[in-house]
Structure 1
Amino acid sequence: MGVDWREFQELIQDLEDVPETAGKYIRKAVQVTATKVKDHWRDQAKGLPHAPAFPFSITYDLKGFQGFGSTVLSAEIGPDKGRRQGALGNLIEFGSVNNAPQGLGQAALNANEADFATGIEKAIADAHREKNL
């Protein structure tokens, strides 16, 4: 799956003087968006007659490191294959010979792209405010 992140990449380029305290705010923005993407994906997946438990397999993991003046974050959102019907994720998302692709995860990412950019902008503003206190 992919998302058109051009605006987000432009935002990153504009953030050359980001305060060192921005990491905790950015982490919150990533976590909020990951939760929204998960919830959106789950909502769209409800009612699949052949996969009634599938929505409950959709989770997210937030991983990060903060130190040495930098923060590295990632959020992995999607079906957990260890949960009931989680292994159907690829078939539901991308389809198969017998099933059309649903694209529910991609739609959830797309639906939350602008909110994520707004959250990052707010995180940076909050970090600047903290720096100036």
Structure 2
Amino acid sequence: MADGLEVESTDFGRLARDVSDFPEDTMPIFRRAAVKTATSIKETARKNATGLAHAPRFPSSISYDFAGDSHGGGVLGALVGAMNGKYDITMEIGPDKDRPQGALGNLIEYGSLHNPPQGIMHGALQAHERDFERNVDNAVDEAWKALGL
């Protein structure tokens, strides 16, 4: 998956603490918000990666993985995590090194001495930042409604 591109933010930490106040049975609502955004980021990154003459199969290597459990702890992953001990939601978005040309991900994203950086994943993440915020806001509203509040 996407080596090197990580999003860390104290705002996400505050969000995680706020979300941790919701019961665990509402966490699928937040998972849907993360999956919706991850899918959009993946599709934008694939679109932005098309047309690379030296890596025509690279776009199809871009995918996302979801990991979620209720055993506690949590670290902010590519999108969301750190549900403060109640639930972990981690989305990892980027080229899969096991897919054709996926191993070129770091070289394409960050460049090298003879190859300029493309910033494909970074650009896709930035393009959907507001969508993510909106999806989480909607998930919070939906979770409150599910609790009857």
- Normalised TM-score (structure 2): 0.79
Instruction: Name the amino acid aligned to 2:35.
Output: Q
Q: Number of paired residues?
A: 133
Residue 70 of structure 1 aligns to a residue in which SS? coil
Q: How does 1:1-133 map to 2 (within 5 A)?
A: 1-3=5-7, 5=9, 7-12=11-16, 15=19, 17-66=21-70, 70-132=86-148
Structure 2 residue runs without a partner (length 5+): 73-84
Residue 97 of structure 1 aligns to a residue in which SS? coil
Identity of aligned residues (%): 44
Cα distance change on mapping 1:111 and 1:73 into 2, 3 Å: same
Instruction: Name the amino acid aligned to 2:127.
Output: A
Within 2, Cα distance between the matches of 1:89 and 1:125? 37
Residue 123 of structure 2 aligns to a residue in which SS? helix
Within 1, Cα distance between the matches of 2:70 and 2:18? 21
CA contact (8 A) 1:80 1:87 kept: yes
Instruction: Name the amino acid aligned to 1:46.
Output: T
The structure whose RCO (Cα within 8 Å, separation 6+) is larger is 1
- Between Structure 1 and Structure 2, the one with more strand by share is 1
Residue 87 of structure 2 aligns to a residue in which SS? strand
User: Please, what is the CA RMSD of the aligned residues?
Assistant: 2.2
CA contact (8 A) 1:35 1:60 kept: yes
Cα distance change on mapping 1:16 and 1:67 into 2, 3 Å: closer
Instruction: Name the amino acid aligned to 2:107.
Output: L
Within 1, Cα distance between the matches of 2:88 and 2:22? 14
CA contact (8 A) 1:23 1:70 kept: no
- Normalised TM-score (structure 1): 0.87
Q: Greater Rg, structure 1 or structure 2?
A: 1
Structure 1 residue runs without a partner (length 5+): none
CA contact (8 A) 2:45 2:121 kept: yes
Deviation per CA, 1:4-62, whole angstroms, max 9, x where unpaired?
A: 74654554455574344330110000111111111010000001111100000001000
